[in-house]
């Protein structure tokens, strides 16, 4: 199974399949964020009734998250950032 970023119109007969692929990608990415191993992700996908997913497919799906994290960490921090310090000791 190949998951792509192409968008299908909602009137397309393939739209329900596209929604299922988005759901699968979300499950895989959520597992990745929580530190689930690729082997366990494969077991998770099998438990969802699919044939499984390879380590390379998991990596490809999670590259998007890595790119977003890198962009977030390298963004410039400008302006005022007010904060409140509370010490309960």
Q: Is residue 29 part of a domain?
A: yes
pLDDT for the residue numbered 50: 82
Q: Is residue 83 part of a domain?
A: no
Number of structural domains the chain divides into = 1
The DSSP 8-state label assigned to residue 14 in this structure reads T
Q: Is residue 82 part of a domain?
A: no
Whole-model pTM: value is: 0.58
Q: Is residue 43 part of a domain?
A: yes
Provide the residue-wise pLDDT of the chain in tens; the chain has 89 residues.
Answer: 444 445 545 566 666 667 878 888 888 889 988 998 888 888 888 888 888 888 888 888 888 888 888 999 999 888 888 888 899 87
Q: Is residue 5 part of a domain?
A: no
The DSSP 8-state label assigned to residue 13 in this structure reads T
Q: Is residue 3 part of a domain?
A: no
pLDDT for the residue numbered 86: 92
Q: Is residue 24 part of a domain?
A: yes
State the residue range of the domain holding 54: 15-73
């Amino acid at each position: 199974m190949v998951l792509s970023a192409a968008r299908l119109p909602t009137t397309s007969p393939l739209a329900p399949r596209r929604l299922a692929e988005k759901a699968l990608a979300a499950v895989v990415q959520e597992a990745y964020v929580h530190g689930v191993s690729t082997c366990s992700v494969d077991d998770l996908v099998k438990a969802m009734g699919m044939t499984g997913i390879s380590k390379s497919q998991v990596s490809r799906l999670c590259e998007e998250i890595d790119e977003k994290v890198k962009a977030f960490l390298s963004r410039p921090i400008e302006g005022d950032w007010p904060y409140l310090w509370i010490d309960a000791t």
